[in-house]
Chain A
Amino acid sequence: MNRTGLTAMQFALALLAGGAALLGLAFGFTSFGSAPQLTVFFALGAASLLRLALPFSLWLDGALMLFGAVALILALPEEGAMPAHFWWALVASWAFAWLFVERLSAAIRAGHLPETGTGLVIPVIFGLALLVAWEVITRGANVPPVLLPPPSAIWARMTAEVPTLWADFVQTFVKSVLPGYAIGCLAGLAVAIAVDRSPFLKAGVMPIGNFMSALPIIGIAPIMVMWFGFDWQSKAAVVVAMTFFPMLVNTVAGLNAASAIERDLMHTYAANNWQTLMKLRLPAAGPFIFNALKINSTLALIGAIVAEFFGTPIVGMGFRISTGVGRLAIDLVWAEIAVAAIAGSAFYGVIALIERGVTFWHPSVRGGRT
């Protein structure tokens, strides 16, 4: 800590931010008129160096970061690379963002700011900063769109191609992923419960199940396409095979999670096997089962898309991705990836929400962290 109330790292970031703004002001001296808002940002950023003498609120850093990012995006030229001194604006606003986040988390830790709400701001800022940097670098450095299109182009393509994307989503997610996921998870659960009664079977199935979960099961995709044809059935079959083993292994482990004393209690109640299973052991296996459901949610989407590389009707996310690459329609491919990412995250999020509701008693949920 020094006179400014900043740690060494924050101090270095503050110097970097202010210094970059000062340099931007100096190098852009000859072209003030072209982007007035950037000049204002540079001037304000350079003025932030006054923090060496005056107190400087962390919210001012946040405001500068936001102003710099917006000014820079507005100043980006439509065609060609951007003027060299614009790069200083990117460096400066990145440094302001980092500094803001550093000071924000320090303030949360010290108890000056509440955890809820502000704790969420930090990852959002990080995500937005990545998007802004992506946009500025691809457009500012004139990166060929075939290589990496800017987010704005991907967004434009997404809004323009809604019917295509929707048809692909239905084919891949609704028709292939969901049935395959449901069948695979239910089958894994059923086999686990069946095996659970016999210690002999359990001893035999567990090592094999563990081994199979580590294998590249996705490789059976071409075989499934041969067996079940090009349509969604073969994709669902791949998803079933991929989701079965994680579910089996986790459920068998989870059914052992209830402690001996709890089982003894059920015994004193004269509960039969079925009652012990339904009222004690299955609920106790909840966290394990949900763990498998979460792992499977991403596996299922991957399985369905990869299986489409081996043959599809002319619709589906995997089909669109592989043909998009061939036609060099990279922005469409990225739009498809964005849809897949949103669908994957939403799928995961829904399961995590259900988990919070069902296993509300578990310490990891009661502690407020999942």
Chain B
Amino acid sequence: MANRVIPVLTILLAILAFWYAAAIWMNAPWQDRLNARADLIDVPFAEFAAQTWAQDKPVLPAPHQVVSEIWNATVALEITSRRSLAYHGWITLSATLLGFAFGTALGVALAVAIIHNDASDRSLMPWIIASQTIPILAIAPMVVVGLGSVGLTGLVPKALISMYLSFFPVVVGMVKGLRSPEAIQLDLLRTYDANGWQVFWKLRWPAAMPFLFASMKVGIAISLIGAVVAELSNASGGGLGVRLLTGSYNGQTVQIWAALFIAAGLAAILVAIVGSAEKWVNMRMGARA
């Protein structure tokens, strides 16, 4: 354990040190001007560094500024407040989870169709791959507006974007997984006179589980990205994407970084949840850790 934690911590500390140094360097020009205006000459370096780490709208906020902004915008505020990051994070999270559920269901359904039917394998698979070369994320705001004009607003349009992104890894992984049983195993089931239904539930489905979870980890991460980008189009709807957008319009860099960190934290937690679900299922299926 220790020889895995120490290298990671070292790199993280290096990044942190680099970040503080970069904050001094990038915020220095503006701080110089502020000091010149206030007739402060010959500020000692330590004091100057502290000033660059405490600007109101810094070019690069120092890590502790971001952390305190996150603290102020989550714990210190009422959860229902429009300025609370917990409120916006919840909006994004619900769209992510709904889209992820849709995407996983669609992906599994397509994979089942593909392995059971030759024609759908041949006709669907190339288009499923081609579908991901379309930068759907880039047109997500348009899709949201388009669906809004038919009366579909709120959670569902964002979830559809997440679905479009997250179904792909699930299809690819599940097709691989459902085909992973070997011929000898399929033959064994035939000697048992198992029907198609039994072959599916007793052999193919359990064999596909590792593939499903690997795909779901990728899927939930891009689901979150889809939800954040889809929010860029509707500033009144709320969500982490909206915090990014308003932050960029008002030059509130600390707010942007705080929203980014919350999104990163959400992604980490979601992937970790899928990972522990994987461990639990593996344990139930008798795999050894």
Chain A residues in the interface with B (C-beta under 8 A): 9, 98, 101-102, 104-106, 108-109, 119, 122-123, 125-127, 146-148, 200-205, 207-208, 211, 214-216, 218-223, 225-227, 297-298, 301-302, 305-306, 309-311, 317-318, 321-322, 324-325, 330, 333, 337, 340-341, 344-345, 347-348
| Contact A225 to B138, CB < 8 A, known contacts A146-B149, A204-B11, A309-B232 | no
Whether B134 pairs with A340 at a CB distance below 8 angstroms is yes
Whether B257 pairs with A223 at a CB distance below 8 angstroms is yes
Residues of chain A with a CB closer than 8 A to B133's CB: 297-298, 341, 344-345, 347-348
* Interchain CA distance A215-B257 in the complex, whole Å: 13
Whether B244 pairs with A123 at a CB distance below 8 angstroms is no
Majority DSSP secondary structure for residues of B touching A: helix
* Interchain CA distance A146-B146 in the complex, whole Å: 8
* Interchain CA distance A317-B224 in the complex, whole Å: 24
Number of A-B contacts defined by CB within 8 Å: 159
Knowing that A105-B119, A214-B218, A344-B135 touch, tell me 9 more A-B residue pairs with CB under 8 angstroms. Answer: A102-B118, A147-B150, A208-B12, A216-B225, A216-B263, A218-B228, A223-B256, A310-B248, A341-B135
- B139–chain A nearest beta-carbon distance, Å: 5
B142 interfacial by beta-carbon distance below 8 Å = yes
| Contact A200 to B229, CB < 8 A, known contacts A216-B224, A306-B138 | no
Whether B138 pairs with A340 at a CB distance below 8 angstroms is yes
Question: Could you list some 18 contacts between A and B, CB below 8 A?
Answer: A101-B119, A123-B127, A147-B150, A200-B10, A201-B11, A203-B4, A203-B7, A208-B11, A214-B221, A214-B267, A214-B271, A215-B263, A216-B224, A219-B259, A226-B251, A226-B253, A306-B232, A337-B142
Q: Which residue of B lies closest to A126 (CB)?
A: B123
Whether A219 pairs with B228 at a CB distance below 8 angstroms is yes
- B142–chain A nearest beta-carbon distance, Å: 5
Whether A216 pairs with B146 at a CB distance below 8 angstroms is no
* Interchain CA distance A333-B141 in the complex, whole Å: 11
Q: Which residue of A lies closest to B270 (CB)?
A: A214
5 closest A-B pairs by beta carbon, nearest first, are A222-B248, A204-B7, A305-B138, A126-B123, A204-B11
Whether B127 pairs with A215 at a CB distance below 8 angstroms is no
| Contact A123 to B132, CB < 8 A, known contacts A218-B225, A309-B232, A318-B138 | no
Could you tell me which residues of chain B, from 219 to 260, have a CB within 8 Å of some CB in chain A?
221, 224-225, 228-229, 232-233, 240, 244-245, 247-248, 251, 253, 256-257, 259-260
* Interchain CA distance A207-B127 in the complex, whole Å: 33
